[in-house]
Structure 1
Amino acid sequence: MAEQASGSGARLTQRGQVTRERILRAAADMMYVRGVASTTLDEIRAASQTSKSQLYRHFPAKEALVRGVVALQAAAVLEDQRQLLRSVGSLQGLDRWRDALIEDSALRNGAYGCRLGTLASELADQDEDARQKIVQHFNTWEGLLKAGLERMKSAGVLRGEADSEELATGLMAALQGGYLLAQTTRSVKPMKIALDMAIDHIKTFAVP
């Protein structure tokens, strides 16, 4: 089995990789609920049931752990979006994508927001490397939305003059703004309104 590198650059055994992933998942869950700044390394160590030496072997500083969390959360969010968006080729498919996101947020009454967006809001002005990585992940997410809109154009659902790139950016802005308002109000109603308005705009380009 191929070994992977730890935070210090050393190659990891399978056991070491399991420990690293356990630390990352504990950190991701805690930072999602509490925020990055309010989550300490000691709390992560206790939650992941690891020793101080194990924690620092894999993540010599909190910054390295935060960047690992960004990568982990982005991978999970983008995989979910690939599954949801790969079949979007119609207005009905776009509505189903919206419904899935709203229903997922409703399970928490809107609490905690988007797993990637909450990291962006906290880290964008604090960690330049993390900010650049998050930009790349958001660009990938927008690319998935754009691809769905392009499929709709190719299928004759949307008119040719519809700008898929701009519409995808508008959808992303509505989604992230909706997540923030849902997180603040503990209600998915603002999120639904924001997404509905963005999708209604896309529908103005629908072929009669």
Structure 2
Amino acid sequence: MRRSSPLSASVGLSARDRILRAAQDLFYLHGVRATGIDRVIAEAGVTKVTFYRHFPSKDDLIRAYLRQRHETWIAWFKESLAASRASQSAADRRTQPLMPVLQVAREWFHASTFRGCAFANTVAEIGESVPSITGIALQHKQAVRDAIADLLPSDVAAAHMAWAATLALDGAIVNAQLGGSSTEAALLGLQHLLHALACGYCDQGNG
């Protein structure tokens, strides 16, 4: 997911949207703990009064950041999955229905802005002190699972398979976040896991 800098893309945005755009870039790149409110204010080009009018606390901004991140990311994920599936042959759609997940992961992991899963990162940083973000993260993971499930025929087995594929993707994200050779190793491992899941699914007569 490639994003332009917050300042270059903020012309014409409302103050609230400028704040959120700055938070999107800074929180994801540097983490929510390391990013202070003053830096967000400076990047957004607003006053403190304006900032606190829209976000009474940093926790409010973090929740808004995650909700917006979810909307943007899941829309990209679904669109990318659909495009990858459309490029598959009919046979591959039947025998390797989960491979679009690998293709999308490869695109994401190689993006210069990739810093792992924003939701897992944020929960790891402040989940204990801001419990409400755990619910946002859970809803995000469920949406990821549902998007993957759309690649499969609709039945109980597909739902379980989609959740397993989501877990495999999560593991790959963590390893790819280390960078370097870990990125390719993560993609190779994800490929093997998705292939094994698809083979097991097809062996049950659902492919």
Q: TM-score range by the shorter chain?
A: 0.7 to 0.9
How has the CA–CA distance of structure 1 residues 107 and 147 changed in structure 2, closer, same or farther, with 3 Å as cutoff? closer
One-letter amino acid of the counterpart of residue 175, structure 1: L
Distance in 2 (alpha carbons) for counterparts of 1:200 and 1:92: 7
Structure 1 counterpart of 2:194:
199
Residue 113 of structure 1, CA deviation: 1.0
Q: Once the two structures are superposed, what CA deviation does each residue of 1:128-163 show, in whole Å capped at 9, x if it has no partner?
A: 111112111211111111122226x8xxxxxxxx82
Question: What TM-score, normalized by structure 1, do the two folds share?
Answer: 0.77
1:101 aligns with 2:105: yes
Distance in 1 (alpha carbons) for counterparts of 2:99 and 2:149: 15
**Structure 1 segment 69-108 matched on structure 2, within 5 A:** 69-86=65-82, 88=85, 90=93, 91=95, 94-108=98-112
**Structure 1 segment 122-133 matched on structure 2, within 5 A:** 122-133=125-136
How has the CA–CA distance of structure 1 residues 194 and 120 changed in structure 2, closer, same or farther, with 3 Å as cutoff? farther
> What is the count of residue pairs matched by the alignment?
184
Distance in 1 (alpha carbons) for counterparts of 2:152 and 2:67: 26
Residue 24 of structure 1, CA deviation: 0.6
Structure 2 counterpart of 1:10:
none
How has the CA–CA distance of structure 1 residues 49 and 73 changed in structure 2, closer, same or farther, with 3 Å as cutoff? same
Distance in 2 (alpha carbons) for counterparts of 1:21 and 1:117: 24
Which SS does the other structure have where 1:184 is aligned?
coil
Residue 65 of structure 1, CA deviation: 0.3
Unaligned runs of 5+ in 1: 1-15, 154-161
Question: What TM-score, normalized by structure 2, do the two folds share?
Answer: 0.78
Structure 1 counterpart of 2:150:
147
Residue 30 of structure 1, CA deviation: 0.4
Does the Cα contact within 8 Å between 1:82 and 1:144 map onto a contact in 2? Answer: yes
Does the Cα contact within 8 Å between 1:20 and 1:58 map onto a contact in 2? Answer: yes
Structure 2 counterpart of 1:24:
20
Does the Cα contact within 8 Å between 1:113 and 1:179 map onto a contact in 2? Answer: yes
Distance in 2 (alpha carbons) for counterparts of 1:38 and 1:121: 13
Residue 35 of structure 1, CA deviation: 0.5
Structure 1 counterpart of 2:175:
181
Distance in 2 (alpha carbons) for counterparts of 1:96 and 1:144: 11
Structure 2 counterpart of 1:159:
none
Which SS does the other structure have where 2:74 is aligned?
helix
1:171 aligns with 2:174: no
Unaligned runs of 5+ in 2: 1-11
Residue 168 of structure 1, CA deviation: 1.2
Q: Once the two structures are superposed, what CA deviation does each residue of 1:52-87 show, in whole Å capped at 9, x if it has no partner?
A: 111111011000000000101101111012212346
Does the Cα contact within 8 Å between 2:22 and 2:43 map onto a contact in 1? Answer: yes
